[in-house]
Structures are given as structure tokens and as C-alpha cells.
Amino acid sequence: MQSEPLVTFNGVIKKFGAFVAVQKLDLEIHKGEFLAIMGSSGCGKTTTLRMLAGLDAPTEGEIRLSGKPINDLPTWQRDTPMVWQSLALFPFLNVIENVEFALKMRGVGAKERRTRAENWLERMQISEFATRNIAQLSGGQRQRVALARSLVVEPEILLLDEPLSALDAHLKVRMQSVLQGLQRELGITFVYVTHSQSEAFSMADRVVIMSKGIVEQVGTAQEIYRAPKTRFVAEFLGSSNIFSGKSDGNGMLATPVGKFRLPQDGTSPQKGRSTTMVVLDTRSHLSVEEPGSEFDFVHAKIIGEEFTGATATIYLEAEDGSELRVQKDHDTLAALPIDVGQPLYVSWRPNETHLVSDA
Amino acid sequence: MTKSNILQSGLTRRALLATGAATLATPMFSRRAFAAPTELTMLAWYGHAEPDIVAEFEAENNVKFVPKYYTGGDNMLGLISQSPVGTFDVILSDAEYVQALQQAGYVEELTASDYEIDDYYPEFQNFPGNWSDGKLFSLVTRFGFLGVAYNTDALTEAEASTYNVFWDEKLKGKVGHFDWHLPNLGQISQLNGNANPYDIDAAAWQAVKDKTMSLRPQIGGFFDYGGTFSSLNDGQMLAFAGIGDWITGVLEKNGAKVRSAIPEEGGLQWSECFSIGKGSAKAELAKKWIQYITSAKGQAKSAQMAAYPALIPNQKGWDVLNVENPAEAKRQGMTKDAGNVIEMIRAGRIKNRQWPVQQSLEEWNDFWSEYKGS
Amino acid sequence: MPADPYFKKTSTRKMLGECPKMRKRISLYSLTFSLPLFIWQVVFFVFPLAFLVALSFWTVKNFRMQPDFDTINWVTMYGRSIFWQSYGLTFAMAAAASVITSILAFPCSFAIAFKLGPKARQLAIFMMVIPFFTSYLVRVYSWQIFLSDNGIINGFLALVGLEKIAMLNTVFATMIGYLTLCFPLVVLLQLFSLMFIDRTLIEAAHNLRCGRLRTVFEVVIPSARVGLVIAALFCFILSFGDFVSPIYLGGGDPTTLSILITDTTKSGQQWPRAAVIALTMIGTLLAVAFAAIRFAYKGREQ
Amino acid sequence: MNDFNRSRFIEIGLRFYVVLSFAFVFAPIAASFIFSFNSDRFPSIPLGAFSTEWYRAVANDPLVWDGLGNTLFVGIIVSVVSTALGFGAAYTDFRYRFFGKPVYMALALLPPTIPVVILGLAMLAYLSRINLSGQSVSVIIAHIVICSPFAMAISRLRLSQMDPDLEAAAWNLGASEWAAMRYVIVPFCLPAIFGALFITMAVSFDEFAIAWFVSGLNETLPVKVLGFLQGQVSPRINVIGTFVFVTSMTLVIIAQILLTRQTRETPAKD
């Protein structure tokens, strides 16, 4: 789904004193897409969002919105409404007054303001709370007010800064579908900052993963999940087994826990070069017996088990102390002796591995 | 709910404040509104612009006095020097400060013929300090004596007839000082036998200092005007140096058992004089006031001032007082009988309180603060 | 996994000096809010104090102050034993007042903080605020009635057949005055720091078999140290400069610095000398405040 | 059991101590109230007859009314100006970081720590040089100096309770800085602003030392009280004290009621 970029970050750098929050960011955000920016705290994702909103000014580089540079435009002239992590609802205004706020600031007449705000309350299914105090609303209701407040000006783009982080798990999922539905319906661009994989992967068309101010990978959920490009991404997603070692120049990787075949994708690293190879936990297998030659394997001991619904994840420790994980359905696991301390083989097909950069 | 609520309560509070202010201020404004009298400012000791003294004059001349009461001569000088010229129309000052006022150019010259100085006792017609180079700058209006103030339950009149009573063992910690060096040190100087208590040589001055220091263990405190009143009244202090009837007279009237005596070593005299402030825009009215308060009628009023009674220099004023309030005239010794206050002055028992002649004022003052701190 | 993303984010933002600020630092908008107070305090607070410094070098002739540059006032004042005597005495009395007030206020604020329910505590705080809306002068005047030889307290003592006690015009009465001035403020300041102590800390201490009194000394007081020191500091500042209690309750004896200031202006218009005393007092207060704050926050930074 | 008894004893002891503390705090206030109805001019035990003569004396004393008028005039202007200045400084501290900020903060907060006698002395000496002494405006100027730090502290406290995103959210929704101030910051701080108005007014109402130095002829009520204390010791002190106490308490209680009624909304439920 390619269309002309709505937002362009052109070599954007943001420094706070000596600290570099965002390093040379180049990024295009398309019209009508749901883009998630993901990373752990301090990675620069929120700063990126705030620069787009006009709340922080880039130190270097240029940001364009619909083709026009907006670096010097203050936030109140930008039409880039944001939904805040804290929601930042005005506690001294009631629900409908909160929603009307942006219209009032734009000089919309009282009558029209009221009608448009009421429309949005209805749309968000919170009409009955119109005259309620913010303090009297539940978390989910507040979320809807915050959305309505930002969307009432009918912007082309909506910025969301971890809006769901304060909700409980059940409500989170519901709000996710509300957000997704809303984005489809309105057809506008959502830029969604989060530290949660499940939020990003379940809602976004494209995901940007950032670390220490640098974009590590951009792609669809599938692309990133299946093929993390960098070691950081792999570690961050936490769903892969990672093996680091040196290439022998003949398609083999020498690691402290054994020699493995490198993937045959034509980019075989030269001899002696440090190389990192990953394999997804869902593509890894467990066995009591040594697997066949079509597999590479590691000898490891079980250290723990975690249920994740239909599947379970087994955590193991290799001989050098590095951690491994394997995700299997319960039927498969039932056939295995799953006890802490139990030695097992962790194996995978070499063609299901791939290399990541070490940056 | 919220916003309107805040606004509502805000309005109520604001309204409340405003109404409150208006209600409280109403009497003031309304009073000003219909009368609109001329305001005449007076810098004086407390009491000189109270209704018992000024009401009649105010009514007759459609004047409203705006007083600033000071707490001492230096305070008065400070207030004048730190206020714009012309702030004060009438200035009441202790006699020893009049010269400072005149030298600093704070007061206007008076025309002697405007006032009934001839009715004054001769001693007061050429009162020291009132005149400078043959020009009149202020006019003495009332005076009083300073001696031993004492609690009549604690001391007999005979005991109080000497300053030595302050050293009495039974008064330990019960002797108070009016907190000003001039009257206190003057009295000690009198006790030391100096004919002119303020014109003493270095040796005599040293003797006064030594004598004063020996009194320190007896002292219970150093009091301002108000403190002197209350500590004498409630028996906190049983004897007081540096004051006289101007304090005890008021307390007596309120039923307190206190009195002042002029001891055998002699007493001091304080005198208050009226002047017209430099640059006063209402000098004519100010003159009228001084004429009033130095006239026989005004003098009789002044003698009976509620805040503190005083002796008056106008002979005709004595006559009026003896008709109006013979008891008070008798109490204060302003009758034609023998031993009246003028005779006491003539007998040389009373000396004017004044600034030290051979030492600087600073020296006396520094000693006083050392004495207080010791 | 970030355990508490919100906290982390705000703290980094704070660290970076990032409040909700934007590009231009100096704008009409920012100056509108920052400048008025600044200008006001420079013109009407710094200038008068600076003028006081200049004034301390002026001379006085015949009741009139003259601009001059003469160190005579400093030399004279610092050369007088009465000055140093008053200084030592005022310092000692203010220090005693802050210690006594702190000690007397502590059980009260402790009880309000830990022994009263929320409703009662609210009421107690409200009641402690009330004195701020009454005139200090009136309260001091009222104490005269209590403390004088024939006053309320001695009246009671006489009723039960006890000897009179001389209280008014003593240092004791001055202390009562200081207490009147400072007690409610000290209680409130102590209270606010006590209320922020994590109660689990105290429970933990009890749990570790730390006795009641020991818990107070080893857990409560150290945790509330900043508040307690600040409260004592305020008490010192207020008592050090107060002239009402020493005069109207202490009978002006002994001479405190504030009395010395008024005395100095009262005799011969010696304002320059009064300025010397005033500046010495300001210097002392700043030094004490600095030391107290250093002590309060000692070991807190990093 | 023994230990339990002991702790009960301590609890009761502490409560009693609190009562005792309040007795100490309120004794002079109560005595002042009682003696304002005492017929004797000089207060002493036993009490004289019940009398309202001092109330009448005060009510009929034009100078007291003038003083009250001055106090109100000064107090209202002082509270408005110092609340505005203090709020501005609090906002500056809340939002900006700049070179020399500690100096700025010291200037904003230091004045109340300077003894009033000294401040009065310095003010009079300085204001008389620039011909601003001896007028109501002198008192106003001096009181704003000492009151604005209180307003600043109160406003700052309120601002620190504000979600720092709130202002940015307003900008983001199209409010200019000025509009955000008007529609977000000020409404949020409204309780503190009212609080500051009241507190600064109360401080100004009760301040006598600086006012005594600089007020000249335009004496405020507390200066009058000081005058009564210095000059003539009169139960009028008690009358005025009682009057001021009742008035300001009424204002404070009304403010309190209005503020709590506003916050006593049903709490959030999920």
C-alpha cells in the first residue's frame, strides 16, 4: 500500500544539550497508513512524535507535512493533534467542553462547536457523559474523550503517544480494535508510539523500531517478526534464539555452543568475520534424542516454562550459559519430559535461520 | 458542571469580597460624602487630635484633623524628614526638639502678635527654644513635671519624696524606666546635686553615669508610652523614673493607685510647643488652630486632655479651668493658692528638660544603651 | 521490559530540562510572566537593601543625614560592647526559641500526623491556620494579661494558694511571645514533612523490634529532617528579627538587636548606625539559613 | 497486655498534648475576645462589668474607620498585584529554565525572611529618597514585596500538581501560548489563585512593622493597633483584634466551603 508521503523526516537530528535523542532520522509516513513507532524508553520514539507535533524543534534537518516544511510552525498552527499517554484531559472542563476545546481555539462559533462535538461524542459512544466531570469517567471512557477531542478538528493525521498504557489488558484489546476501526473508517494517518509489541504488531500497517535514537528497522509486522534485521530488533522482540560467532568462510558459523550452517541466501560472510544468526522460537524444536542431520542443534537444560495460551514457551540454558527458547503447542510438549534440569536438544532447520547485523 | 461551577463559586467569592469591602467602607465614605471638611494634618504625641480636644474646633471651622502620632522626638524628626515637604500642617514638638526643627527648616516662622502671648505667665512668654534670633518659630502650649511616679500601696508620699527611693531594697526589679535617656539621666543628675542637671562637666557626668549604673539591678524594664501605662497600672512596676503626672494622672482617673511626687532634689519640666509645618498649604488654618489651643478656652481643654493631663502656661486658661473643673485644677496645682506650680518653678525646684550642654547628645544616648544592655 | 514507562519518561524529560517548552525562550509571552516580579523585587527589594549598604556609610550632623563615605558607623557599632552583647543575646534567644519551639511542636505535629483520623487531621490543620488570621500584636497584648503579676495565671495561682510568679518583663515572657509567633507555623511545617513519611517505614521499624521511642528517633525524625530543620530555621528567622515580644513581653530588657535598631533611630537620627545593625542581622540570617539548608539536605544529593 | 496499656496511655497522652497545644494557641485569642467586653480601660483580674463601650468607641472613632478603609484599600490592591506577580513567577519557574534562575528564585522568595524591622527601615530610607514615602502607595509597594513570595509559593504548589502535558495538549489543540494560559493554566490554578488572594490579603491585613515605617498619615489598622499599644493601651486593641479576627475567619471559612463543595464530586469509577 504505497501512496505519496504525508510526512517526511529529512535527516532530522534532535539534541538535548549533549544528549542526542534522535540521530539523523529519515522517514516517510504515507497518507492513510497506521504507522507504529516502537522501542524501549529513551529510544527517541516520543521525541520523534513530539517533533512532528511541533512540541520539540529539530536541532538539524527538516520535517515536511504534505510537502511543506513545518520546522518553524508552532504546534498550534499545525493540525497535528496528539493523544497523550497521560491523556491530558482538562480536569476543569466537562466532557463536551473538552471536546469543543480545539474548535473554540480555532474560532468556531458556539453553536457549530456544540453540534460537531456532540457528533463526535456520539461516534465515540459517550454522548451520555457529555456533562460529566472528567474525574467521574472510567479509563476507557476517558480514552474515548481524548480521541474525540483530538479528532473533532478532522485532521489528516493523528498522533498517539502510548495512549493505552494505563489501561488493563482486557480494555486494551477493546480499545485497540476501536482505534483500528476508527483509522480505517476515517482513512487518515495514525502515528502510534508504543513500547508494546502486541499493540504495534496487531494494529499497525508498518512498524518502525527505534533504539538509541536510530531507526533499526521499518516494515510490516510480518516482515519484522519473521526477519529481524538487527540483533537489537531480535533481542527487543525477544522471540528468537540468537547465536553469535565467527564465520569460517565456508557457510559455517562457529559459536561457543557449536558449529552451525549459515543460511544459504547468497550473502555468506567472509572468513573470520563476527556474525550473528537468529532462529525464531516457533521454528525451533525440542527432542530427547539427537535430531537428524537436516537439523542443527544445541544441547541445553530446561530452566523454566511459561504458558502463553494455546502454546507454551520452554526456556533452556546452553552449556555456555546463554538462554534459549522454544515455543510449542501443548500436545507436542506433552510427549516430552518437561522438568527443570532436564537435558534436551534444541534444533532447527538451517534454511529457517537468517543473519542480522550486529549494530 | 465543573467549569460553570468554578465560575459560579468564583463569582460568589468575588461578589462576597466586593460586598464585604463596600459594607465595611460605607461609613467612611458616607461620612466624607456629606461633610467634605478641610483636612488638616497634625504630627503630635498621641491624644492631641482626639475628639475631646479638637471636636469643637473641627465643628466651628469645618475642619477634619488627620493625625500622625509619633512615639518620640526622634521619631518625629524622622517622620518629617522622610515625608514630602508640606505633609504636616501642624507639628507638636517637645521643647528641646523645636530648635532642631527650626534649624532643619521644617517649620514656618510665626507672627508673635497673632497669639495672646501676653496672657501667658512671664516665664513662658519668652520660652527657651521658641525664639531664634528674635523670630518666633513655635509656641509652648502645655507642660508638666517629671518626678517620682509610685504605687501608693507600695510607697508612702514621704518615701517617694526623694529619688533615692529607687534604690530601696523592696523595689528590686520593680522600678521601671521610661525608655528615653534625657529625663532619666536628668533626674539622676538632680539627685547628684547638679544645679543645672544638663549642664555638667566631665567629672559630674562620670558621677551621673556611675550613679545610674548602680541603679541597674533595681530595674524591671524599659518601657515606651503604652508599656509605662500598663506596667504601672497592673502593679507590674511599683515606681517609675522619668515620668510624671502625664502618666499617673490618667491612671489615677481610672482608679489605679499611682501618683507622682516632685522629690526634694527637684523635678524636671517637659513642655510641648506647636509649630506650623514648612510648606503647609493650610498655614492660615494651622495658625487658627494654634490661636485656638493657646487661647484661654483651648488651654482649659488642653489641661484636661483625656490622653494625658498637663499644666498650661496661659493665666486666663487657669481661670477658665478653675470654673470648669475646679477639682482637676486643684489636683494639678493650677490654683491661685500658695505652692501652685508656677510658684514651684519660681522657687527653682523645677528644671527644664533639655539637651546636654557639655556633652553631645550622642554620648548620653550611647551611655543609655550601654546601661540598658548591662 | 520497561517496568514503569511513564515514570521513566518523565524523569528523563525532567533530566533533560524538558518541561512542555518550545523553541523561543525569550518572547513577549515569557517576559510578561517572568519580568514583572523580577523588576518589582529589584526596584523595591534589592535597591532598598543596597541603599541600606550605602546608608551605613553616611554621617549624621545635627539630626540630618548626609551622603558620605565614612566607615565611622561600622567602627563605632562594632567597637561597642553593647552591640556584641545584644548580638550574642539575640542569637542565643533566637536559637533557644527555635529549639524550644521545635521540641514543643513535635509531639503535637507527630500526634496530628499519625494519631488522628483524616477528618480530625483536616480540622487540626485548619485550626492551626487560624492564628495566621489574627493579629500578632493583639495576641501579644493578650499575653500581657495572662502573665502580669496580677494577671490571669497569677490569679489562678493565688486561688490555689500558691506564691505569685514574676513572669511579665522576663526572658520567659519573651519566649512565650516567640512561641506565639512561631508555634503554629512550626507545627504546620513539621506536619507536612511528617505526613509524607511512608507509613510502611514505621511499620517496618516496629517489625524489626525497634521500640516506639526509638522508632521516632531513628526513623521518623531522620525521614522528616528537611521539614524539621526548615521549620526550626523559620522560627529562628522570625524570632531573630522580632521586636514586639522583647518590648511588650520582655519589658525591653535585655536589649535585643531589633530593640537596638529602633533605639538607634530613636536617638539622634542615627539611621546609618541602624543600617549597620540591620546589615549585620541580614548577614547572620543568610549564613544561618545557608548552614541550615546545607544541614537539612546533607546526604540527600545523590 | 501491659505493653498494650502503655501504648494506650501514650495515645491518650499525645491527644491530650494536641489539645494543650491548641489551648496555648487560642488562649490569647479568646482572652482578647473576652476583654473586648470588659469595662475597665486597663485589663486586670477580676474582670470589670460587661460592656460594649469599647465597641462603641471604636465604631465612633473616625480614625479607626479611616484605618480600616486604608487597610482594605491597601489589602485589595496588594492581594491582586502580588497574586499576579507571584503567579507569573511561579509559572516562570514551572515552565522555563534559564541562566541565573537560582538568583531569580532567590529574589522571588527571599523577602519574607528579612526581618520586618529591617525591611521597614530600608524601605522608608529608600522610598523617601524617591518621594514615595508616607503614602498609601508606599505601604502597597512594601507589602507587595513581602506578599508576592507567598502568592508564588501557593501558585507553584498548584502548578506542580498539574499534568505537565496539559499545557502542551492545549497548544497541540490549536491554542496559542496566550490562549493556553487563559483557557488552561489559569482555570487549573483558579483555586490557588483565590487562595493566594486571600493569604496575601491576610498577610497585608496583619502587617504592622513595615507599614508603621512607611505609611505616614495613611495608617493601616494594624499600625493603629501598634499605636494603641505604644501610646495609650486601650481595650480598643481587643475590639479591633476581635473584629479583624471574625471578619477574616468568615472569609476563610466561606472560601473553604466553596472550595470543598467544588471538589466533593463523586470519585472516578471504572
How confident is residue D46, by pLDDT bands cut at 50, 70 and 90? low
> Which candidate from D174, D188, D268 shows the least CB-CB separation from A137?
D268
- Measured CA to CA, the distance from residue C92 to residue C240 in angstroms comes to 9
Q: Are residues B280 and B253 in the same domain?
A: no
How much is the pLDDT for D74? 93
CB contact under 8 A, A101 and D170: yes
Question: Which chain D residues are closer than 8 Å to B78 by Cβ?
Answer: 124
Task: Tell me the chain A residues in contact with residue C5 when contact means C-beta distances shorter than 8 Å.
Answer: 41, 85, 162, 165, 195
Q: Is A132 on the interface with B (CB under 8 A)?
A: yes
Asked if pLDDT for residue B1 goes beyond 70, the answer is no
- Whether the pLDDT of residue D234 is over 80: the answer is no
Higher pLDDT, D164 or C91: C91
Binned at pLDDT 50, 70 and 90, residue A294 comes out as confident
Q: How many domains does chain B have?
A: 2
For A160-164, B311-315, C21-25, which range has the lowest pLDDT when averaged over its residues?
C21-25
Instruction: Give the integer Cα–Cα distance in Å for C260 and B368.
Output: 11
**Domain-located, residue C268:** yes
Mutate which: A14, A16, A41, vs C, most C CBs within 10 A? A41
Residues of chain A in contact with residue C8, where contact means CB-CB under 8 angstroms, are 41-42
The candidate with the shortest Cα–Cα distance to B353, out of B178, B221, B207, B214, is B178
Residue C9 binned pLDDT confidence (cut-offs 50, 70, 90): very low
Average pLDDT over chain B, rounded to an integer: 87
Tell whether D110 is covered by a domain: yes
- Domain membership of residue D46 (yes or no) is no
Largest CA distance in chain A: 77
Q: Domain with B225 in it: what CATH number?
A: 3.40.190.10
Which C residues 12-71 touch D at CB under 8 Å? 17, 19-22, 25, 27, 29-30, 32-34, 36-38, 40-42, 44-49, 51-52, 55
- List, as ranges, residues 55-74 from A with C-beta within 8 Å of D: 55, 74
Q: Is residue B343 part of a domain?
A: no
D178 Cβ neighbours under 8 A, 6+ residues apart = C29
Is the pLDDT assigned to residue D41 strictly greater than 90?
no
Q: Which residues of D touch B (CB under 8 A)?
A: 40-44, 62-63, 65-66, 68-69, 72, 76, 124-125, 128, 131, 133-134, 187, 190, 194, 216-217, 219, 227-233, 247, 251, 254-255, 258-259, 261-262, 265
Name the band, by pLDDT with cuts 50, 70 and 90, for residue B27.
Answer: very low
Q: A131 and B6 in contact by Cβ < 8 A?
A: no
Per-residue pLDDT, C104: 96
Strand order in the sheet with A258-261: A258-261, A252-255, A240-247, A274-280, A354-356
Q: Is the pLDDT of residue C238 over 60?
A: yes
Higher pLDDT, D192 or B198: B198
Q: What digits encode the pLDDT tens for the residues C117-142?
A: 888 888 898 888 888 878 888 899 88
- Residue C113 domain flag: yes
Evaluate whether residue C278 is within a structural domain.
yes
Residue C217 within any structural domain of the chain: yes
| Domain count of the fold of chain D | 1
Q: Is residue B261 part of a domain?
A: yes
Q: Domain for residue D128, yes or no?
A: yes
- Asked if residue D49 is part of any domain, the answer here is no
Maximal CA-CA distance, chain B: 88
In a domain, B50, yes or no: yes
Of all helices (H) and strands (E), which one includes residue D180?
Answer: helix D177-180
Number of domains in chain C: 1
* C52: in domain: no
Q: Are B3 and A92 an interchain contact pair (Cβ–Cβ within 8 Å)?
A: yes
Please give the share of chain A, as a percent, with pLDDT higher than 70.
98
The 8-class DSSP code of residue A267 comes to: -
Report d(CA C287, CA A73) in Å as an integer.
Answer: 49
Q: What's the full length of chain A, in residues?
A: 359
Whether residue C41 lies inside any domain: the answer is no
Domain of residue C166, residue span: 80-297
B-contacting residues in C 51-90 (Cβ below 8 Å)? 62-65, 80-82, 85-86
Q: Name the residue range of residue B297's domain.
A: 38-137+271-332
**What average pLDDT does the structure give for chain D?**
84
Q: Which three cell numbers stand for residue B114?
A: 497673632
Same domain, B117 and B92: yes
Which position has the grid cell 511561579? D90
- Report d(CA A264, CA A276) in Å as an integer: 14
**pLDDT on residue C198:** 78
Amino acid identity for residue B348 in this structure: G
> Which residues on C lie below 8 Å from B78 (Cβ)?
265, 269, 271
d(CA B358, CA B361): 9
- What ipTM, to 2 d.p.? 0.80
Here the CATH number for the domain that contains residue D237 is: 1.10.3720.10
Are both B212 and B255 inside the same structural domain?
yes
Residue D232 pLDDT level (bands cut at 50, 70, 90): low
Domain range for residue D96?
Answer: 62-263
- In this structure, the answer to whether residues B108 and B237 fall within a common structural domain is no
Higher-scoring residue by pLDDT: A321, D261: A321
The Cα D131–Cα B85 span in angstroms is: 10
pLDDT in tens, C152-182: 888 888 888 888 888 888 999 999 999 999 9
Residue D267 has pLDDT above 70, yes or no: no
Sign of CA dihedral C144, C147, C152, C158: negative
Secondary structure in 3-state letters for B120-177: ECHHHHCCCCCEECCEECCEEEEEEEEEEEEECCCCCCCHHHCHHHHHCHHHCCCEEE
Q: Per the domain annotation, does B19 fall within a domain?
A: no
Indicate yes or no: CB of B13 within 8 angstroms of CB of D255. Answer: yes
What pLDDT is stored for residue A266 in this prediction?
A: 67
Tally Cβ neighbours within 10 Å of residue A299. Answer: 14
Contact residues for A173 (Cβ-Cβ < 8 A; gap 6+): none
Note whether residue D68 is domain-resident. yes
SS3 C166: coil
pLDDT (tens digit, 9 = 90+) per residue, A75-121? 999 889 999 998 999 999 999 999 999 999 999 999 999 999 999 99
Domain-embedded: residue C157: yes
Residue D26 pLDDT exceeds 80: yes
Is the alpha carbon torsion for D150, D152, D153, D155 positive or negative? positive
A148 → chain D, closest CA residue: D173
The answer to whether residue B169 is domain-embedded is yes
The reply to whether D179 falls in a domain is yes
Q: What is the pLDDT of residue D268?
A: 40
Q: Where are the beta strands (DSSP E) in chain C?
A: 59-61, 64-66
Answer with the residue of higher pLDDT: D253 or D209. D209
Q: How far apart are CA D131 and CA D124, in angstroms?
A: 10
Nearest CA in chain C to A75: C22
Q: Does any domain span residue D48?
A: no
Residue A140 region, left (φ>0) first, then alpha (ψ -120 to 50), else beta?
A: alpha
Specify if D157 maps to a domain.
yes
* Chain C nearest-CA residue for A163: C6
Q: Report the CATH number that the domain containing residue C185 is assigned in CATH.
A: 1.10.3720.10
Subunits with at least 3 CB pairs below 8 A relative to chain D? A, B, C
Instruction: Give the three cell numbers for residue B77.
Output: 524628626
Residue A204 distance to chain B (closest CA, Å): 37
Q: What pLDDT does D144 receive?
A: 96
Q: Do A41 and C2 touch (CB under 8 A)?
A: yes
Q: What is the pLDDT of residue C299?
A: 65
Question: Which residues on C lie below 8 Å from D240 (Cβ)?
Answer: 135, 138
Pick from B263, B264, B231: nearest CA to B248 = B231
Q: What is the predicted pLDDT for the residue at B117?
A: 92
> Which of the pair, A269 or D103, is modelled with greater confidence?
D103
All domains of chain A, ordered by start, with CATH? 5-226 (3.40.50.300), 231-356 (2.40.50.100)
Task: Tell which wins on pLDDT, B11 or C193.
Answer: C193
Crossing angle of helices D136-160 and D186-206, rounded to 10°: 140
Residue A153 near chain D (CB below 8 Å): yes
A68-72, B312-316, C58-62: which has the minimum mean pLDDT? C58-62
Q: Confidence band (pLDDT; 50, 70, 90) for A357?
A: confident
Look at residue D265 in the predicted model and tell me its pLDDT: 42
Q: Does D172 touch chain A (CB under 8 A)?
A: yes
pLDDT of residue C13: 41
